[in-house]
Amino acid sequence: MIKYFRVFTIILLLGLATGCNLFRMQTRPIPTKDMSPAPALLAYFPQKAGTTWSYEGYAEYASRMNLNSVVKKADPKKIYHYISGAVEDVSSGESSRNFRFKLRYTFTSNSVFENIQEADTPFPHTLKNVELLRLPLKKGAKWTQAHRIKGQKRLLEALILDIRTEKAIRSEIIRVRYRIPMAGMPNGIYEEIREFAKGMGVYRFEKTFLGSNPANRFNYSLRTLKTPKKSSAS
């Protein structure tokens, strides 16, 4: 009887010890994935406040924009770029349109978004919120984004068409196509092409016109990029 009692006690103690170990194993904190904005995405955009871009394009289009501030948010980890700019008024002041615009770029752990915070029709970007890039950055990568157009849900389809090195600027360029169903557009599809140059941001933009021939596209390209000079050590 004593022998059986000892065996039972040993089994009980082993069971308790195993249970405690399992409990400790289950309650250990699980390592969290780093959700900081992806360096691979940040590399394609200037990161210094005071950076200015000048663009020129179709039918004497011209615009200029400035990176006003770079804001880092801790929880969740994001980086915001606040940008203001203006489209050149070719009417010499006769138009009543607002030629100024404001943008915000949002960098997350796997994407970067462009949000139009303020703009009138002289600013040519049609969609107010676009997921510009998403990891992985490789040719053939695809993603989708839900939009509402005139109260109806539509799906934007994005595709990385190409990644190349532009010898003229000695920079890597990602070429992305965005398509979404939209009434009045050629074949009922609105399309944009954006090219992003490493360290420069948007290098080239083109889009379909309302009811126009698909071969006739609005476009603009980067003409100058100016970044703030490093302050000299005192």
Take residue 213 and report the two structure tokens written for it. Answer: 């021939």
Strands (E), the chain: 52-57, 62-73, 78-87, 100-107, 111-118, 129-134, 142-149, 152-166, 171-181, 189-197, 201-208, 217-226
Q: Which residue has the tokens 């065996």?
A: 7
The 3-state DSSP class for residue 40 equals helix
The 3-state DSSP class for residue 17 equals helix
- 168 in the Ramachandran plot: left (φ > 0), alpha (ψ -120 to 50) or beta? alpha
For CA atoms 206, 194, 149, 60, the dihedral sign is negative
pLDDT at 212: 60
Task: Specify the CATH number of the domain 39-226.
Answer: 2.40.360
Cα separation, 155 vs 180, whole angstroms:
6
Query: Where in the chain are the domains?
Result: 39-226
Least Cα distance to 75 among 126, 109, 125 occurs for 109
* pTM, 2 dp: 0.82
The tens-digit pLDDT sequence of the chain (234 residues) is 444 444 334 433 334 343 444 334 344 545 455 678 999 999 999 999 999 999 999 989 999 999 999 999 987 899 999 999 999 998 878 888 999 999 999 999 999 999 999 999 899 999 999 999 999 999 999 999 999 998 899 999 999 999 999 998 999 999 999 999 999 888 899 999 999 999 999 999 999 976 666 567 899 999 999 999 875 443
